[in-house]
Structure 1
């Protein structure tokens, strides 16, 4: 039994294996992200290309990805967080992929954006590191969030 590359603790044949072989489709953004990590670990470049949102594949440089995958030893995956996007068809997965390249231990920290289209999840793009948090600022003259009906400056903002 070979454990899955994605660090799920499950056998590869019961975890990412069916996705990489085309026998199944990842049901969640996290499962898709984990399977993409396993694709890097096994240098399954065609899978990586096939999981990109249709219409976004023009930027995919298969030669560059092949070189990165084949010249790296993939040593672990840490899923830091998963969360919804702006609607039920968008989601984010923050992860750290660990690998060794040219004898150096490296990591790729990304928050990937996923989109559901035609009943399946696709990888869209990612940003390095954590997704920026958004904070709604309350104006002094806005109604207070506590529901008192008072202005913020005369209630919780005092």
Structure 2
């Protein structure tokens, strides 16, 4: 549970909204992300907070693997996510079956900093958005 978060604390996804009214309801399972972009933002936040179960649960079922929990747990331990910028979106709104979100996420890991740039593909099944896959580029500074 993430209830210890300050009600006024800014959401890690850089939406400008308080965490409690932005990504927390989706991550806590109270209200699913309404759009592909909202799911992408909540997944970024989940990575930054270590919410591994949410990351697995919002991945398209056909792309889940038995080792996901172990891999994700290790990733969230060694990566500090420090910023998110949404670059573009296509579809992914209410009534759409699919969507694409292009973003850049800044991070620090192993005493290095870098940028992960991704074109993420999403699918909506029964009013629930899922991350399907993406084309990822990582650059280390």
Which residue does 2:5 correspond to in 1?
none
Q: Does the aligned pair in 2 maintain the 1:30–1:93 contact within 8 Å? A: yes
If asked which structure has higher relative contact order (CA below 8 Å, sep 6+), I would say 2
Unmatched runs of 5 consecutive residues or more in structure 2: 1-7
Which residue does 1:72 correspond to in 2?
79
The whole-number CA distance in structure 1 between the counterparts of 2:130 and 2:34 is 10
Which residue does 1:39 correspond to in 2?
46
What CA RMSD, in Å, does the superposition of the two structures yield over aligned residues?
1.7
Q: Which runs of 4+ in 1 moved over 6 A?
A: none
The whole-number CA distance in structure 1 between the counterparts of 2:97 and 2:66 is 22
- Using structure 1 for the length normalisation, give the TM-score: 0.76
- Using structure 2 for the length normalisation, give the TM-score: 0.85
Q: Does the aligned pair in 2 maintain the 1:49–1:60 contact within 8 Å? A: no
Which residue does 1:122 correspond to in 2?
130
The whole-number CA distance in structure 2 between the counterparts of 1:22 and 1:47 is 8
Unmatched runs of 5 consecutive residues or more in structure 1: 130-158
